[in-house]
Amino acid sequence: MSWQIIMAIGIGLAASIEDLMRRQVSNWIPVVALIAGLLIHYSERGWPGVWSSFLGACSGFVVFLLFYLLGGMGGGDIKLMAGFGALLGGASRLFEAAVWIGVIGAVFAVSVLLYRFLRSRLSGTESGSRFIPYAPAITLGVWLELVARS
C-alpha cells in the first residue's frame, strides 16, 4: 500500500468523523493533506511532482468555490478538497474524483432529505440542522478515484 493511499485513508477518516460529529473540518486536516501531497509527489517525481500537486490543490479549491459562495458548502469542505487535490497530485485526477464526489454527494443528500421528510411526517416535528456533512462524500469520492487508478 502506497503512502498516498495510507494518507488518504487517515485524512478521510479524520475529516469524515469530525464532520459527522461536529459539522466542521478542522484546519489541521487539509493542511496535513497538502503537506503530505507535496512531499509524496516530490519524492516520486521531484519538482514536477510538486508543481502537479500544487495544481491539484488549486483545482480542488476552485472546484467547490462556487458552491461555497452560494452558501451550499462550508469552508472546511473547500480546504479539504484542496488538500486532497494535492494528495491526488494533479488537476485531472481531482476532476475525476469530483465526479465521484458529486454522485456520492447527491445520493447522500437525497437519502438525508428523504429520512428527514419521513421523520417529520411520522413525528410531526422538524429534524435538526439543514446542513448535510459533505466530508464523507469527499472522502469516498477520493478513495474511489484512488481505487480506480490502482
Q: State pLDDT tens for residues 28-86.
A: 999 999 999 999 999 999 999 999 999 999 999 998 898 889 888 889 999 999 999 99
pLDDT the model gives residue 128: 64
Q: What is the pLDDT of residues 78-126, one digit of tens each?
A: 999 999 999 998 888 889 999 999 999 999 989 988 988 888 888 877 7
Q: Which cell numbers hold the place of 106? A: 447527491
Interior/surface letters 49-86, b for 16+ CB within 10 angstroms, e for the rest:
bbbbbbbbbebbbebbeeebeeeebbebbbbbbbbbbb
Q: How confident is the model at residue 127 (pLDDT cuts 50, 70, 90)?
A: low
Read off the pLDDT band of 130 (50, 70, 90): confident
Banded pLDDT at 132 (limits 50, 70, 90): confident
